[in-house]
Amino acid sequence: MQFSLPEIRPKEWIHRIKEEFFPPRILDKYVFSEFVKIFIGALVTLGFLALMSSYSDIKGDMASSKGGKIHGWLFILFRLPQMLIQYIMNIAILFSVSFTVGQFSANKELVAMMAAGISFRRIVTPIVAFSCVLWFAAFFLKQTVVAPLNARANEEHKMLKEGDQNTLVGVVYQKHFKGQEGFYYIYYYDTKEEEIKGGFNYICLTQEQTPDYLLVAQRAKFDYQKEVWILKGVEETKFDEELQVVSVQKFTEKEYKLPEKPDYFKKLKGSVEEMNFFELSEEKENRIKKGLSYGDVDIAKHTLFAEPLLIVVLTLVGCASGFFTKRMAIVSSLGVSIGVALLYMVMDPSFKSLGENEVIPIWLASWITPMLFLSGLYVVYKRLKV
């Protein structure tokens, strides 16, 4: 038995699309114009609600800020594109599609269109095509606009929190680092004073990867002229080949020549939301070098592609829900929008958490939510037969 693949003829395929959609038919213009009006209205409404929600979240910080309220408003402004791409656009397109198609169905316009010999898939094609354009636009904007603006938003938030006695911004963290000759445990690196405070621990390994000596210090500062670390309140423990303690000495202050310099211990570049694809790849290599976890970086790399696809998924969900609407389209649309949004908000973070903790592969954690939705939609549209 022989299997053969259908012959692909790009020129013929492009010609059919041109014949079918260019110039747009009156029906395409009507369906698309009705959808766009509702979509823009939903974007504006949800954008305003998002701004109010953001202001409510940080108004306490703005009231007590010593850095100036302007930083709070700038934080909201720079954060808006992220909210627009990640939340507002998805909910707006789901609501507007399900409402538009639902109105056509409830008013029997959908029946009239299909009675004229036009399939349901053909009727909603302009809307689906628009969602595909939004998919690519969202991916491009996340790379070129959203990531740098997220970095600006975080900087403005730091300035807003500056002077808050209850918050240490950008300095506090506890991390293990893999060095060239051993391992470090750092409590926090004070970038202003360029000093490690609260604890500096280092274990040096031999070529056989056994402990050579252990340093436990209260503070550590690098001397750039001598290129040595000055450790304060240090306890030095040495081991022999049998891992037995040879000596334990305490010093008020002592100099050590260690392979790593201060830049090695500065905080990671920032949130993964601040990085584009190439910066994420660089961050992953940096974390591997330092022996740090990089699950969130891998998740973010996949999310750059998987998250915008949700726009297309929700468009197809809205078309299907609108098709089954008989009356009161706005109630049905709101119900579907809220239900699908809640389901997504539960599923997506849950799977990503499993991926970061290496319970499931990271690629699966990032793609499983849209793939499950697409699989369910495939079954629904196959049964529609329209």
For residue 15, with 0-12 CB atoms within 10 Å meaning exposed, 13-18 middle and 19 or more buried, which class applies? exposed
Yes or no: say if 310 and 89 are a contact pair by the CB < 8 Å rule: no
Q: Nearest to residue 209, comparing CAs of 167, 243, 173, 246?
A: 243
pLDDT tens-digit profile, the chain (386 residues):
454 545 556 666 565 665 555 555 788 888 889 999 999 999 999 888 888 888 887 777 777 766 677 877 888 888 888 888 888 888 889 888 888 888 888 888 888 888 888 888 888 888 989 999 998 898 888 888 887 888 788 777 777 776 544 444 444 456 777 777 888 888 877 777 778 888 888 888 888 888 888 999 888 888 888 888 889 999 999 888 888 888 888 999 988 888 888 777 765 555 677 777 777 777 777 777 666 667 778 788 888 888 888 888 888 888 888 877 776 666 776 677 678 778 877 888 888 888 877 788 888 888 888 888 888 888 877 777 66
Q: State pTM to two decimals.
A: 0.67
Yes or no: say if 335 and 324 are a contact pair by the CB < 8 Å rule: no
Angle between helix 120-141 and helix 89-106 axes, rounded to 10 deg: 170
3-state secondary structure of 166: coil
In DSSP terms, 183 is beta-bridged to: 178, 203
Residue-wise pLDDT tens digits, 103-120: 888 888 888 888 888 888
Spell out a b/e string for 151-180, using b for 16 or more CB atoms within 10 Å of the CB, else e.
Answer: bebbbbbebbbeeeeeeeebeeeebebebe
Residue-wise pLDDT tens digits, 34-69: 999 999 999 999 888 888 888 887 777 777 766 677
3-state SS, one letter per residue, for 136-157: HHHHHHHHHHHHHHHHHHHHHH
pLDDT at 16: 60
85 contacts: CB under 8 Å, gap ≥ 6: 138, 141, 142, 146, 308
